[in-house]
């Protein structure tokens, strides 16, 4: 099976730190799918250890693109095998329902375009079409039915618009994702007193909610009761240009998440092809009594982490 490599457009746009600005957008858009929202609400520990779950999940998700093996895609798929249940209307859901799984994938690959349009790096129409074509290769690595995948980029835009207008729903899982004011301090600043963190978190939460509102399609804003003005749009575009200029001052390797950087290091020879993949730091692992659960990514290989003092996620 074909895998993406350093010549792909996806390697240029995915896996960078500016994608963290898309966090609330990606998580909330995923949970707006009725079945995905129900699965997260019933099964996920996301709301109990939210920072840790987010930070550790980035490693295999990014690895699906940068590990240059379909094994990582199969690994991510298999975390979802036991996630199933009943919908409020009496229907059933399963995390590996192709329509559900593809929607989550769509938010990841299409998030590249939304991020680049606002925060850079600049993206062309040709790049967008290449990203779509490569997203099919990316999705195929999961080993899930290709049936929901649109055939062309134009078909995908029709699919996306239909989902935003006619399928997505408000859900408690969406509102919980969007509310970061009650979260504890992130693991990397766990030393911070909670009252101090709460004071800092409120304006940060407001800013991220404003950015996320701007990233939403208009039908989604209307569904959630959010307003967005032309002035807001101009301010967001201005912020995006500032972010893009700031990232251009950062050395290219350090614009990347460690797992993406690891992929580039392997193809450049900086890291041997047989070396273990970079895994999440121990601080992001699930609680000890949940580490054997089949729904958790919980790597045991930490051999290279100690050698990488620059790794912070």
The pLDDT of residue 302 is 42
Q: What is the pLDDT of residues 5-31, one digit of tens each?
A: 999 999 999 999 999 999 999 999 999
State the pLDDT confidence band at 102, using cuts at 50, 70 and 90.
Answer: very high
How large is the average pLDDT for residues 268-294? Answer: 87
Q: What is the pLDDT of residues 136-148, one digit of tens each?
A: 999 999 999 999 9
State the pLDDT confidence band at 83, using cuts at 50, 70 and 90.
Answer: confident
Strand, helix or coil for residue 273:
coil
CA–CA distance, 210 with 236 (Å, rounded to integer): 9
Contact 257, 15 (CB under 8 A): yes
The pLDDT of residue 313 is 44
**Three-state secondary structure readout of 209-235:** HHHHHHHCCHHHHHHHCCCCCHHHHHH
Strand, helix or coil for residue 16:
strand
Residue 86 is inside which H or E element, if any? Answer: strand 84-86
- C-alpha closest to that of 189 among 204, 208, 206: 204
Q: How many angstroms separate the Cα of 133 from the Cα of each of 56, 109, 116?
A: 28, 10, 17
Q: What is the pLDDT of residues 113-163, one digit of tens each?
A: 999 999 999 999 999 999 999 999 999 999 999 999 999 999 999 999 999
The pLDDT of residue 248 is 96
- C-alpha closest to that of 168 among 31, 60, 17: 31
């Amino acid at each position: 099976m074909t895998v993406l490599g350093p010549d792909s457009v996806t390697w240029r746009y995915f896996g960078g730190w500016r994608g963290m600005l898309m966090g609330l957008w990606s998580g909330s858009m995923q949970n707006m799918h009725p079945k995905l929202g129900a699965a997260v609400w019933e099964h996920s520990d996301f709301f109990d250890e939210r920072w840790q779950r987010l930070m550790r999940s980035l490693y295999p998700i990014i690895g699906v693109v940068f590990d240059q093996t379909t094994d990582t895609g199969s690994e991510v798929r298999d975390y979802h095998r036991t996630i199933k249940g009943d919908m409020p209307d009496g229907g059933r859901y399963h995390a590996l329902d192709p329509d559900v799984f593809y929607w989550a994938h769509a938010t990841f690959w299409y998030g590249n375009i939304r991020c680049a349009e606002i925060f850079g790096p600049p993206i062309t129409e040709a790049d967008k079409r290449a990203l779509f074509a490569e997203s099919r290769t990316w999705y195929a690595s999961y080993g899930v039915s290709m049936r929901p995948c649109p055939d062309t980029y134009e078909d995908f835009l029709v699919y996306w618009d239909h989902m935003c207008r006619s399928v997505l729903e408000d859900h408690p899982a969406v509102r919980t994702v969007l509310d970061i004011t009650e979260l504890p301090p992130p693991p990397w600043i766990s030393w911070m007193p909670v009252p101090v963190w709460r004071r800092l978190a409120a304006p940060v939460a407001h800013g991220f909610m404003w950015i996320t509102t701007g990233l939403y399609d208009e039908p989604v804003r209307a569904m959630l009761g959010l307003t967005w003005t032309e002035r807001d749009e101009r301010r967001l575009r201005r912020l995006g240009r500032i972010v893009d200029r700031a990232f251009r001052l950062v050395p290219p390797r350090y614009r990347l998440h460690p797992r993406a950087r690891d992929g580039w290091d392997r193809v450049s020879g900086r890291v041997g092809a047989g070396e273990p993949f970079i895994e999440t730091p121990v601080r992001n692992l699930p609680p000890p009594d949940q580490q054997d659960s089949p729904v958790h990514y919980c790597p045991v290989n930490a051999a290279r982490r100690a050698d990488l003092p620059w790794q912070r996620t």
